[in-house]
């Protein structure tokens, strides 16, 4: 057992330092996401979604850095990552709109000027919509239109269309749970 730990003691120390550094970075990023969410009045579910994205990113970075620390060659890393990304790219090519909606959801988290409860109008030439934002998810926005229907509108289209604010915080919760 000593034969293994003795020559690799510096690798263990560097690995621990990398993990501690990434945990600190994760803490800073999640704290920042929580502060941005609180300051901008963003729904807690959306903040949690951003924290999940941060966690996945930190896991990928940790794997990459630990592979470097433990002596995986750059050529081998390039081969592994290019193979993985090729498979992912081919697999996700058919579902590019899902990735587009997720990316739009991340962008909307930080810069979307409207909140849940705001009444908005989407200026779409084909199907103009006006409704109250009930929820903002990773893939789409829920709009309650005047006739009572619930419309899901993709996040990528929300960023592509002109939107105007009709009424700030039009949603009033009367406390009743009507099903």
Supply the CATH number for residue 69's domain: 1.10.287
What is the number of structural domains in the chain?
A: 2
Q: Which two tokens stand for residue 36?
A: 């941005």
> What CATH code is carried by the domain that includes residue 151?
2.30.30.520
Domain interval for residue 158:
113-167
Whether 23 maps to a domain, the answer reads yes
Are 79 and 18 in a shared domain? yes
Whether 175 maps to a domain, the answer reads no
Residue 179 has pLDDT above 60, yes or no: no
How many CA within 13 A on the CB side of residue 47?
Answer: 17
**Element (H or E) spanning 29, and its range?**
helix 9-39
Whether 174 maps to a domain, the answer reads no
Domain's final residue, options 66, 94, 122: 94
Whether 62 maps to a domain, the answer reads yes
Whether 160 maps to a domain, the answer reads yes
Share of the chain above pLDDT 70, in %: 87
Are 123 and 70 in a shared domain? no
Are 89 and 118 in a shared domain? no
For 85-119, write each residue's pLDDT tens digit. Answer: 787 777 666 677 777 888 888 888 888 888 888 99
Are 41 and 119 in a shared domain? no
Are 45 and 89 in a shared domain? yes
What pLDDT score was predicted for residue 131? 93
Report the mean per-residue pLDDT for the chain: 83
User: Is the entire prediction scored with pTM above 0.75?
Assistant: no
For 50-87, write each residue's pLDDT tens digit. Answer: 899 899 989 989 988 888 888 878 777 778 778 887 87
Are 11 and 64 in a shared domain? yes
């Amino acid at each position: 057992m000593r034969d293994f730990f003795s020559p690799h003691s510096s690798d263990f120390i560097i690995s621990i330092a990398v993990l501690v550094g990434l945990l600190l970075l994760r803490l800073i990023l999640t704290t920042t996401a929580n502060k941005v969410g609180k300051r901008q009045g963003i729904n807690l579910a959306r903040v949690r979604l951003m924290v999940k994205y941060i966690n996945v990113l930190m896991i990928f970075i940790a794997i990459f850095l630990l592979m470097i620390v433990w002596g995986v060659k750059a050529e081998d890393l390039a081969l592994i990552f290019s193979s993985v990304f090729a498979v992912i790219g081919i697999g996700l090519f058919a579902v590019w709109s899902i990735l587009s909606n997720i990316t739009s959801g991340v962008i909307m988290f930080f810069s979307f000027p409207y909140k849940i409860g705001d009444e908005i109008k989407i200026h779409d030439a084909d199907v103009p919509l006006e409704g109250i934002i009930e929820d903002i998810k990773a893939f789409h926005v829920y709009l309650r239109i005047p006739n009572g229907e619930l419309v899901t509108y993709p996040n990528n289209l929300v960023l592509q269309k002109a939107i105007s604010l009709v009424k700030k915080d039009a949603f009033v919760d009367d406390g009743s749970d009507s099903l």
